[in-house]
Each structure stands twice: as C-alpha cells, then as structure tokens.
Chain A
C-alpha cells in the first residue's frame, strides 16, 4: 500500500529555511494532491498547503509569503520549504495525501509518520 516518509532536519536556527522531502512509496505520486500539515501544542493541527502532481499549488494564507511546495515526479517526491523561521514554527511536520472533494472525500487519507522540528539558536 502507499506509504509516505518525511525526511528533514530536527533542528533549524531562527531566520533560516526549513526544508523537508516526502517520498511516496508503494504507488505513484501522479494523479493525486499532496499536502503538508504541522502540529504544535500551541496551534494544534495547521494545514500548510498542497501540490498537485502537475505542480499547481495552494497555500495557507497565514504562511503563504514564506512557503514553497514543489514536486519531483521522477523521484516520486514532493518537498516543503519554509523560510525565515522563528520559534513559532517549532512543530511536528507531516506530509499527507489529500483526497479532494471531487473524489468525494475531502480528507487526508494517508499520512507520513511526522518529523519534529525545533527552531532554536
């Protein structure tokens, strides 16, 4: 079955760029939407944005100025970059497959295991 695996740093310094990659295994990245979600004790679960396998994206307006999500279909991977990080960006970051409303779902049906990132000097 389809599985997602995030990879990225455990710690980032303030003002630097946080980068994550999510590798899709057991299935193709093509034909689906893929998302990044984060979870912190202070803000709960927060949707960051999604990318379609074609490269079209949508981002949470609260983060839009700092976020870039990209896709590499040849590697079956998609990536997240969040720049100018602060302590408020400390969270567990998840990648997930987004089942769209047009598919009848409107939900995240497959999740990666999550990676904790701490922003600290």
Chain B
C-alpha cells in the first residue's frame, strides 16, 4: 500500500497569512492526488483533485501543486472559515489511501 505522510500535523497562522501543507507519498503517484477539508462533525469536502485542479465552488485562495512523491496545498490568504483539518489522498493505485491530516488554526 502507498503511505501518505502529511506535515506539519498542525499549523497556527494569522488571518491573511499564506499557509502551506505538504503531503509525501511513499512511492510515485504521478499527479493522482486530492486534497480535502474537514470541519468538526462534518464529512470531508473535496478541494483539489489531480494535484492542481480546483473543485467547482472552492475559493481560488486554495491551490495545489506537485507530482511524483511531493505535493503541497497552499492557502494564499488564510480566512477564519479555513479553520479545519486537511487531508491528502492518493488515487494512483488501490487501495486508495489518505494522509493523517493537518489541523489549521487561527493564531
């Protein structure tokens, strides 16, 4: 199985800051990576698919990049409503696997 490792496990930043989250795959996954946002008590919400494609309706301050084994999710200007846990997920091979999550908080 492909292991997905996220870092950091948590980040605290101020409103308006740029926030970057990293996801590393244990082997190359081309661009088959998705990012999700999850708020407490809610289901995950798809933000980014195929490493850099923005899901319809997601604010443009969210962006994704990377290929192979290293990927990043960037929030260009952190907003209060972005407080959540973010997960990556690889779709290169089955079983589909997720990262452990990064919790984003407002300082």
- The A/B interface has a contact count, at CB < 8 Å, of 63
Question: Nearest Cβ in chain B — how far from A25, in angstroms?
Answer: 15
Chain B residues with CB under 8 A of A101 = 32, 91
Nearest CB to that of A111 among chain B residues?
B43
Q: Mark A33-70, 1 if CB is under 8 A from B, else 0.
A: 00000000000111100000000001011100000000
Q: Is A112 an interface residue (CB 8 A)?
A: yes
How long is the Cα–Cα vector from A113 to B44 in the complex, in angstroms? 9
Instruction: Decide: A107 and B34 in contact? CB cutoff 8 A.
Output: yes
* Contact-residue size bin, chain A (C-beta under 8 Å from the other chain): 20 to 34
By beta carbon, the residue of chain B nearest A104 is: B50
Question: Are the C-beta atoms of B50 and A106 separated by less than 8 Å?
Answer: yes
Q: Is B95 touching A94 in the complex (CB atoms < 8 A)?
A: no
* Chain B interface, >50% SS class: loop
Whole-angstrom distance between the Cβ of B62 and the nearest chain A Cβ:
14
- A74→B92 CA distance, assembly (Å): 32
Whether B49 pairs with A107 at a CB distance below 8 angstroms is yes
CB distance from A54 to the nearest CB of B (A): 18
Complex CA gap A60/B95 in Å reads 5
Asked if B55 is at the interface of the complex by the 8 Å CB criterion, the answer is yes
* A99, CB-defined interface residue at 8 Å: yes
- CB within 8 Å for A47 and B43 given contacts A101-B32, A104-B50, A106-B49: no
Check if A105 is an interface residue, CB within 8 A of chain B: yes
CB–CB A44/B91 < 8 A: no
User: Which residues does chain A contribute within 8 Å of B71, judged by CB atoms?
Assistant: none
Q: Are A45 and B98 in contact (CB under 8 A)?
A: yes
- The 3 A-B pairs of least Cβ separation, nearest first, read A106-B91, A107-B34, A111-B43
